[in-house]
Homo-oligomer: A and B are copies of this chain.
Amino acid sequence: MSERSPNSEDLDLTDPAGYPHWTVITIRCRDEDQLGHVNNSVYSEWFEVARVTLTREVSAAGPDWLVTALARMTINFLGETTWPGEVRVGGRLLGVGNRSFRSAYAVFRDERCLATADCVSVWFDQRSRSSATPPPQVREAMEAELRRTASGARPAR
């Protein structure tokens, strides 16, 4: 990761003000498990919607074979929720490297933060099925996004 990558331990990932990108997701009956609440693996599906959306919004168009793959994800589960209803997932870019980038997400039901995620994604060449360096315009678009949104980051309390 570049030196532009802040340490997420220094950020309050539960603060909605830190997220410039938002996605609304309706909860499904099937999201609940035996305990009568939304299962932990469903949060991964919700974060994926926000992550793919963010990636499209902050990176310039690259070649067809260029995709991203998740390399590392830490989820903190802070509260439970149930069907029916909807959640909002906020997303922000945290850092950009040569072949990877770091981003953070948080799921909110009304004002309550249910979970946060800190993710490292790698650029991936679908033809060779190995990591790849994206073209310069992709990296430049992400660097611009980082400069634009850096002020939204609040230190953790």
Known: A36-B34, A126-B35. A29 touches B44 (CB 8 A): no
* Minimum Cβ distance to chain B for residue A155 (Å): 21
Are B29 and A26 in contact, CB atoms less than 8 angstroms apart? no
Q: Find out whether the CB atom of A69 lies under 8 angstroms from the CB atom of B76.
A: no
* Interchain CB contact (< 8 A) of A70 among B40, B46, B74, B84: B40
Q: Please state if A48 and B53 are interface contacts (CB–CB under 8 Å).
A: no
| A153 is an interface residue with CB less than 8 A from chain B | no
The docked-state distance in angstroms from the alpha carbon of A49 to that of B39 is 12
The 10 closest A-B pairs by CB, nearest first: A41-B44, A74-B74, A30-B45, A40-B70, A26-B26, A41-B45, A32-B34, A44-B44, A29-B49, A29-B48
